[in-house]
Amino acid sequence: MAMNIKSQSPLSNPPSLAGLVLLVALLSDAVLSLHGVVPDETSLFPSIVHFLASLSAEGLHTGTALVAFAGGIMLTVSLILLPMQRTYRARELQLLHERERLEASNAKLARQAAHDGLLGIANRREFERVLKLEWQRAARERQPLSLLMIDIDCFKCFNDNYGHQKGDTCLREVASVLKAAAARPGDLVARYGGEEMVVLMPHTDLEGANRMAERIHFMLTERAIPFPDSPVAGHVTVSIGVSAMLPVRNAKQSTLVKQADEGLYMAKEAGRNQTACVAPLRLISLKDHVPVWTGQAQRA
């Protein structure tokens, strides 16, 4: 990424070499004309010559010494300091390019650390980081936050029957469906562990979360990933637990995950390939445990 960094060096804007040469030529011409080496009529700067001639002999001697001293300083600047400044600028640019390269490498490493290499979605560490941020934002804005906990039905059977390579392909296919379903910029699809995945949806209530779950069921049916040995259907299916909360005082983000996990357990116990959630009342109060079923899937 390009960065605009201004050098703090006092040599960042040095006088031009042409200007220094011109000044040295002016002073040298005046001194030579004053001593008769250059006739007055051919002098480049006769006015300066006449000014110096009007000075006393002692002042003229002092002025000549000052001119020589100034000329030496200018030559020093031209021959030593300017090359040093150019070297400094080249080194500064080299360090700037190195810094940009390191920042790009760090950004790449950060992306790799936040994503699951197999599925191309966020990993659990990234999910927990984003969940914390979205929970805080939902509390500030008083907006609901929803979570889908998704498990591939009978995935162990799939792996045992078709091998781990086919199992990896199946995981990638399901992850692709989830990414296509949760296409809003704020939604996050992540691998929670093994064959479990999650979809975090800011600004989404329980009804919206259930619609998303049904959409996932429908898209997986359309994708029809073959699974002839499945006890549920002839293709890969998922069970989904849904939770939604409006963060309030004393509420914890871990409750959102726990609610979704309990819904997932309920969906699997009821026969898989369906969506379940806990009662909306429990999203505010944890005193009662009243399960509520939503949209039991009927799949071919």
Is 296's pLDDT higher than 60? no
Q: What is the pTM of this model?
A: 0.63
Tokens of 278: 């806990």
Over residues 227-244, the mean pLDDT reads 95
Q: Is there a catalytic annotation at residue 173?
A: no
How many Å apart are CA 19 and CA 137, to the nearest integer?
60
Return the pLDDT at 88: 79
Q: Please report the domains of the chain, with CATH numbers, ordered by start residue.
A: 17-114 (no CATH), 124-293 (3.30.70.270)
Catalytic residue among 134, 195, 196, 262: 195
Per DSSP, 37 falls in state S
How many Å apart are CA 158 and CA 117, to the nearest integer?
21
Is 12's pLDDT higher than 50? no
How many Å apart are CA 45 and CA 53, to the nearest integer?
13
Among 56-70, 142-156, 212-226, 266-280, where is mean pLDDT lowest? Answer: 56-70
Helix axes 46-53, 57-76, angle to 10 degrees: 130
Residues 267-287: pLDDT tens digits?
Answer: 999 999 999 998 654 444 333
How many Å apart are CA 190 and CA 118, to the nearest integer?
12
Return the pLDDT at 47: 56
Please, are residues 200 and 131 in contact by the beta-carbon 8 Å criterion? Answer: yes
Return the pLDDT at 91: 84
Residues 69-125: pLDDT tens digits?
Answer: 676 677 666 667 677 777 878 888 888 888 888 888 777 777 767 789 899 999 999
DSSP states of 215-231: HHHHHHHHH--B-TT-S
How many Å apart are CA 168 and CA 45, to the nearest integer?
87
Residues 244-254: pLDDT tens digits?
Answer: 999 887 888 99
List the one residue out of 257, 231, 237 whose CA is nearest residue 153.
Answer: 237
Owner of token pair 């914890």: 252
**Mean of all residue pLDDT scores within the chain:** 79
Return the pLDDT at 261: 95
Model confidence band, residue 30 (pLDDT cutoffs 50, 70, 90) = low
Model confidence band, residue 223 (pLDDT cutoffs 50, 70, 90) = very high
How many Å apart are CA 146 and CA 15, to the nearest integer?
64
Return the pLDDT at 63: 58
Q: What percent of the chain has pLDDT over 70?
A: 66
- Top pLDDT among 84 and 172 is at 172
Return the pLDDT at 299: 38
